[in-house]
Structure 1
Amino acid sequence: MAEHVVVIGAVALGPKAACRFKRIRQDAKVTLIDRDDIFSYGGCGIPYYVSGDVSESSQLRTTAYHMVRDEPFFKDIKGVDVMSMTEATKIDRENKKVHIKDLRTGNESVLDYDQLVIGTGAKPRKLGLPGEDLEGVYYVGNMHDAETIKDGITKGTIGKAVVVGAGFIGLEMAEAFADMWGIETTVVEIAPQILPRMVSPVLAKMAQNHMEEQDVSFRLGQTVTRIEGDGKVQRVVTPEETIEADIVIISAGVVPNDKVARDCGLECSERGGIMVDETMRTSDPAIFSGGDCAIIKNLIDGSPLFLPMGSMANRQGRVIGSNLAGRKETFPGAAGSFCVKLFEKAAAGVGMSLAGARQAGFDALSVMLIMADRAHFYPTKDMMVLEMVVDRDSRRVLGVQGISGNGDALVGRVNAVAALMKYKPTVEDVSNLEVAYSPPYAAAMDILNAVANMADNALSDMNRGHGPDTFVEYWNNRESEEVCFLDVREEADAEPLLEKHPEHWHNIPQGEIPKRFEELPKDKPLVLICNTGARSFEAQVMLDALGFKDVRNTQGGMAVLKAYASDF
């Protein structure tokens, strides 16, 4: 009898594992089951379907050759049997059987397996809010939700939207509502910043400011206590205010669907998720798992990592398919690469933010650089902000995050670092990283090399400084705090602030410091600023040599400061 592989879950990981195995083992039988009637779709594309960038929901189910990935497709093209609207209710590991239920008829039956794959994905995190069952409240958990939301929008019944959660999906949905449809959109987030745990507060504030320019409102540090309406949602209530809403999207993260695995005794994390090794095997060698229901290794510190991403699921699916066929492929873990489009900007990163690195026990620091993403003289250049997080003792790069108008350029830099992360790269590795160069695509000293050089200078105590957040704190306390603000740009650049704040804003162009340094107080900290932080760094080096003891450089300069705090 032919070997039978059963795959539970048919969104991302399951189809990839099933098809990979079948390509290698044409003689085997593969059965793919899923509890929905719409399967094998690009869930990460849902916000772009809602926005209208993707015109038809079926496009999220098609191949690059416009074939819909339905039951006949898998049967005829891939040689895989699909049982949709079928739920795996129990796994009998001892007898290698999966108990299933047809959700259309209620009939129950059993599938025998030789090897099993669990790709049950994750489900939206429920908040248990009063009113969350009202019409018009969605968790965007599947294509049916997406189609219902899109239908309501196109009918013109939605004028005000509230998004709960400022993670990837929440922000993408906010953009979809505000950009294409002009819906009045408010995002409520319990954390004090958007993209919590992913980027620093400075990068988050820059991204938030850009979204606010596109008419998205934010309520940060607020908790939704209830949702109200007469049968249909009408408002969202927090302790601070009541927000009118015709639709509510709850995007509070996801939790692994591990119940069927946990019930049959497979090793699972206390926090949820199926434990797997580098071959994607579970604690039962005949059962594999991956995707949004599995826990993998964090390449930065070796800790367990839950990383629900479609790209991760597809890569893991291929490894599983190969290993089902007897090969010995591995998935070593992940460093947590991400990217998200936010109107005309993109945010992206890999590894740990500064807060995350410190929470993980690293003695970490970060540096922030703003620089053109290609040759400064090339007309299509745009300014990119990169923040690099490094460990002081080992000089190891723990993470890189950034924001930029040219999203492809930013993602390219992040991907270059992501490829290095499993090798535990140091500052020197990135400083000397070879990247392709031509003025239309990069600077001769690429921004990746430059931010690593900046980290090197910070580690050696040459570049001592702070970001725009600390500068704003100094400036807000300028009446009581004894610091001297020194603008080292040319006088024409500094003139507006000199005229506005003559008692606090001082200007000596960097090139004139050797001749004019005696104008500066030696008994006060000097807070330096220029356009990008480059000239102020040169000024810091000069002033150190001239005997000044407390000189502080503002990383990113006025360019980052203006993006962070619009009143400058």
Structure 2
Amino acid sequence: MAKQVVVIGAVALGPKAACRFKRLEPESSVIMIDESRIISYGGCGIPYYISGDVSDARELQSTTFHMVRDARFFEQVKGVHVLTRTRALEIDRAARQVLIKDLESGKEDRLNYDKLVLATGSSPRKISLPGSNLENVFTVSGLEEAVKIKDSISRGSINRAVVIGAGFIGLEMAEALIDLWGIDTTVVEIAPQILPGFTSMAMSRMAKKVMEDNGVRFLLNEKVLELAGENSVSGVVTDKRELEADLVVMAVGVQPNSELARQAGLKISNQGAIIVDEYMRTSDPDIYAGGDCVEIANLVTGKAGYFPLGSMANRQGRVIGTNLAGGQDVFPGAVGSFAVKLFDHGVVGTGLSLEKAREEGYDALSTFVVQFDKSHFYPDNDLIYLELVFENNTGRILGLQGISTNKDGLKGRVDAVAVLLPHQPTTKDISNLELAYSPPFSSAMDALNNLGHTAENVLQGRNKEIGPEDFVRLWETRDQQDIIFLDCRDLENAAEYLQKYPDKWRNVSNESMSSNLDKVPRAETIVLVCNTGGRSYESQLRLRKIGIDNTLNVSGGMKLLKKWGLDI
């Protein structure tokens, strides 16, 4: 029996749900409404439009075969009727009607529905600041605003920019502003790290260094108090200083657009998101919701989670479209996988960071592996830096993060673990994970396998290691304690540090250690260092055999410390 479906929201989830349903039930009718003139675009591509990587805004709205997904496209090609510049004012669940308003004419009308889809998305979180209504103060709220930002920059009057917030959008916008346009760019973040809540302190430090090496300035642990200027913004006042600014981008996160659902009496979470079941149904079985406006299960913690990601919205849209047509598809939840491009590097993660895992109550540990992304003998290889988060005692994997210039290779490894996370894998599973091998793609023993091995050695007490933060703490207090840093590399690698710090830095290579045990220094604490942590781990085992068990192995070695930005 034919029915009428109304879809509120026409960016990501809405079009996917509408078109999927229409394919399954071509005799039914679908009406999709949106407040904007521009619909069905790739919002995650906005920073790349501003940077110039995407030259025309219409490319973000185009299909792979270069048709613009506008109202006419949906009407003629998909059979979906679209009302743009139309706002949904109210949902009458008893009458199964939506009160709508044409934003151009002001005329109101009512749409009947058999099934309703809420694809209302999210809005940039706004901080109430004096001056936030000045000219050249933007949020990245949609493609129309992105066009305004680019037009403002193109006029040539923007020399200094301040980005408020160091999340994904903030960092991508900072790159866009400085990379193509050469705008002096400062990022202000209230948290003590960039990508707060997503990456560990160590990983965020490495990502921050990549950005700084490309000219971006960061001010962390700093709160913005007001925006200065008369008509147009001229400065940003924080709790520590005043910054000159011709343009300000506010990127302090997003919040779900759930007010329409709340007013209709649908269940809303404490985070302000719409609560749905695994079929993407709201508390009203005739109303579905998905995308940035809903809360779904976190498949790592088992708790409710909020994942405002474009890929999530598209997959949920297909589930909703199927179920509108009488199907029983489910969307069980997510583990929270992300990827962000920072100049020539990629930062990718899945699951929980170390700090987030501990916040969730896990007795969590992490370890690092630094390894070539391809076989060491294959030309054009590069290092990949991975951090595995796992539960003490059980070895359950809780998350994985990485950074590398090989963005595709990095993403592939993280994706492999993301697939496993809902099934509660352990370090043993990662150690024995089957991965395709060929020298141009990876090592015979992949970095991911070695990460599992390293975590197992930590759990079994074989590898007593420290991360970069602990190394810094020991290094900075070296003169106040009985400590020696033993370099397990060849002499030529260690020579610079032997000359600089003859009292604290010593050298016995791992390969010669068995025949040079008399040269091993004695101290209350011996910190073992090599390039990546592998040779120093072998040295730790050798020393333990002769009763020297007061050693600490630096996880990831000198390569990690340098990537972290430490200049010893």
TM-score normalized by structure 1? 0.99
2:506 is aligned with 1:510: no
Whether the 8 Å CA contact 2:483–2:523 is kept in 1: the answer is no
Q: CA deviation at 1:4?
A: 0.3
> What's 2:65 paired with?
65
> What's 2:547 paired with?
547
Q: Distance in 2 between matches of 1:316 and 1:411?
A: 22
1:9-34 Cα shifts (integer Å, max 9, x gaps): 00000000000000000110001010
Counterparts in 2 of 1:86-165, with a 5 A limit?
Answer: 86-165=86-165
Q: For structure 1, list consecutive stretches of 5 or more residues without a partner in the other structure.
A: none
Counterparts in 2 of 1:56-455, with a 5 A limit?
Answer: 56-455=56-455
Which secondary structure state, in structure 1, belongs to the residue aligned with residue 478 of structure 2? coil
Q: Distance in 2 between matches of 1:518 and 1:88?
A: 80
Amino acid of the residue matched to residue 161 of structure 1?
A
Q: Distance in 2 between matches of 1:39 and 1:86?
A: 12
Which secondary structure state, in structure 1, belongs to the residue aligned with residue 224 of structure 2? coil
Whether the 8 Å CA contact 1:522–1:549 is kept in 2: the answer is no
TM-score normalized by structure 2? 0.99
Q: Distance in 2 between matches of 1:540 and 1:110?
A: 74
Whether the 8 Å CA contact 1:177–1:185 is kept in 2: the answer is yes
Q: Distance in 2 between matches of 1:106 and 1:349?
A: 46
Q: CA deviation at 1:380?
A: 1.6
Amino acid of the residue matched to residue 502 of structure 1?
P
> What's 1:493 paired with?
493
Q: Distance in 2 between matches of 1:549 and 1:52?
A: 56
Q: Distance in 2 between matches of 1:350 and 1:534?
A: 25
Whether the 8 Å CA contact 1:2–1:28 is kept in 2: the answer is yes
Q: Distance in 2 between matches of 1:496 and 1:515?
A: 24
Q: Distance in 1 between matches of 2:243 and 2:455?
A: 44
1:129-174 Cα shifts (integer Å, max 9, x gaps): 1111110100110112100111111111111110000000000000
Which secondary structure state, in structure 2, belongs to the residue aligned with residue 489 of structure 1? coil
Q: Distance in 2 between matches of 1:421 and 1:271?
A: 24
Whether the 8 Å CA contact 2:482–2:523 is kept in 1: the answer is no
Q: CA deviation at 1:546?
A: 1.3
> What's 1:564 paired with?
564
Which secondary structure state, in structure 1, belongs to the residue aligned with residue 145 of structure 2? helix
Counterparts in 2 of 1:2-21, with a 5 A limit?
Answer: 2-21=2-21
Runs of 4 or more off by more than 2 Å in structure 1?
Answer: 515-523
1:504-524 Cα shifts (integer Å, max 9, x gaps): 111010122222223334551
Amino acid of the residue matched to residue 129 of structure 2?
L
RMSD across aligned C-alpha pairs, in angstroms?
1.0
Q: Distance in 1 between matches of 2:481 and 2:473?
A: 10
Amino acid of the residue matched to residue 100 of structure 1?
I
> What's 1:474 paired with?
474
Q: Distance in 2 between matches of 1:483 and 1:328?
A: 63
1:422-456 Cα shifts (integer Å, max 9, x gaps): 11111111111111111101110011111011111
Which secondary structure state, in structure 1, belongs to the residue aligned with residue 120 of structure 2? coil
Whether the 8 Å CA contact 2:484–2:523 is kept in 1: the answer is no
Which secondary structure state, in structure 2, belongs to the residue aligned with residue 175 of structure 1? helix
Which secondary structure state, in structure 2, belongs to the residue aligned with residue 199 of structure 1? coil
* Identical pairs, percent: 51
Q: Distance in 1 between matches of 2:518 and 2:338?
A: 49
Q: Distance in 1 between matches of 2:92 and 2:16?
A: 24
- Aligned residues, how many? 568
Q: CA deviation at 1:566?
A: 4.0
1:322-378 Cα shifts (integer Å, max 9, x gaps): 011111111110000000000011100000001111111111100011001111111
Whether the 8 Å CA contact 1:386–1:400 is kept in 2: the answer is yes
1:80-105 Cα shifts (integer Å, max 9, x gaps): 00011111111111111111111111
Q: Could you tell which deviates more after superposition, 538-547 or 246-255?
A: 538-547
